[in-house]
Structure 1
Amino acid sequence: MLSEWQNHKAQLRSYINKRLDDTDAVDDILQEVYIKASTNLHQLKARGSLRGWLYRIAHNAIMDFYRERQPYEALPEYIAEEELTTSERARQEMAEALRPLIEELPEKYRLPLQMAELEGMSQQTIADTLGLSLSGAKSRIQRGRVKLREQFMECCDIETSKSGVLDCTPKQPGCTSSHCKYG
């Protein structure tokens, strides 16, 4: 291997040097190519393909070099925390806006819907808590959502776009704007 390496070393150095913007790293990458080739020599199928194999190792080492150098800056922790609290706050506001309408639903739909949408319980937990089959709980939650949507549409004018709800205003004097809080 050593004599074969000596035959290709100068050409490999030139190949690596042309592809790097850091001349100090050329010898490091060349050494890495030698170590990988020596360690994985058993993977080489035919001696005639040694040159191409060495160039492939060199190419991969160059790609690894650039991947490691990609500049990145970790996000400050407060940004991730802020997103989470903003998202959670929006969910809570939505839940409070919908609570009065959900409370007007018949009990068999109200309870599963409150558990799913306001308390964030899984459908299996809801089924177990209410003594229902999983499909029965899913059905009641789905029917509750349909009834809630019908109530909401009767009570409020909703303007939507592809990105979601843009505006919501009460239709009737009996409806309060708290139903439309998230608009």
Structure 2
Amino acid sequence: MISEWQNHKTQLRGYVSQRIDDDSAVDDILQEVYIKASGNLHQLKSRGSLKSWLYRIAHNTIMDFYRERQQFESLPDDLMAEELDTGKEAREELAQCLGPLIDELPEKYAKPLRLAELEGVSQQRIAEQLGLSLSGAKSRIQRGRVKFRQQMMACCDFEVGQGGITGYTPKDANHRKKCKSP
């Protein structure tokens, strides 16, 4: 390998120095090319392709050199906070609409849905409070969710993104009034 390396070293030096703007790094890159080539000699398919193989290693090493040197601007600290807030305002406004929309549901669906979704009461507890069986309470909550979803889709147009709902527009003036903050 050493004799073959000596035959190609001068040409490789020229190749590297034409592509590197830092003269002090040329010898370091050549040394790295030699180390990579001698360590991976078993991958060389034929002696006739040694020259092109060495140039490929040199090219990749040069690319690695520039990747390591590449300067990156640090991101502003508040960038992450802005990204996380996407749609937060819309969700807060939308939450103000939920109560009035749930109130428009028939009482047998509105009460269990309000307890489950807005107050966080367990389904077992809802069943006990309303004098229903557990399966009856679950059924009313599920039906309430379906009716509530239909109502939401009828009253508002939603913009949905990766983080969920990012915006909405009430379809008529009645719902627009209900959704405004008090």
Q: Give the Cα separation in 2 of the matches to 1:13 and 1:138.
A: 73
Report Cα offsets for 1:116-145 as digits up to 9, x if no partner: xx79xxxxxx9xx9859xxxx988745532
**Matched residue of 2:78: which SS?**
helix
The answer to which of 100-109 and 67-76 deviates more is 100-109
Q: 1:82 deviation in Å?
A: 3.8
Q: How does 1:72-111 map to 2 (within 5 A)?
A: 72-85=72-85, 87-106=87-106, 107=109, 111=113
How much identity, in percent, do the aligned residues show? 51
Task: Give the conservation status (yes or no) of the 8 Å contact 1:12–1:55.
Answer: yes
Give the CA deviation at 1:165: 5.6
1:26 — aligned with what?
A: 26
Match of 1:36 in 2: 36
Contact 2:90-2:168 at 8 Å conserved across structures: no
* Change in CA separation of 1:110 and 1:53 when aligned onto 2, cut-off 3 Å: farther
- What secondary structure does 1:77 align onto? coil
Change (3 A) 1:49 1:168: same
Which residue does the alignment assign to 1:68? 68
Unaligned ranges ≥5, structure 1: 120-125
Structure 2 residue 157 is matched with structure 1 residue 146? no
Q: Quote the Cα distance in structure 2 between the aligned partners of 1:7 and 1:109.
A: 87
1:12 matched residue in structure 2: 12
Paired residue secondary structure (1:31): helix
Gaps (5+ residues) in structure 2?
Answer: 127-133, 160-165
Q: Aligned ranges for residues 119-130 of structure 1 at < 5 Å?
A: none
Normalised to the residue count of structure 2, the TM-score between the two structures is 0.66
Stretch deviating more after TM superposition (40-49 or 140-149): 140-149
Give how far 1:9 is off: 0.6
**Can you list the C-alpha shifts for 1:63-106, whole angstroms capped at 9, x where unaligned?**
11122222212213332124324643442232223332234234
Partner of 1:2: 2
- Max radius of gyration: which structure? 2
How far apart are the structure 2 equivalents of 1:84 and 1:58? 43
Q: Structure 1: which amino acid aligns with 2:150?
A: V
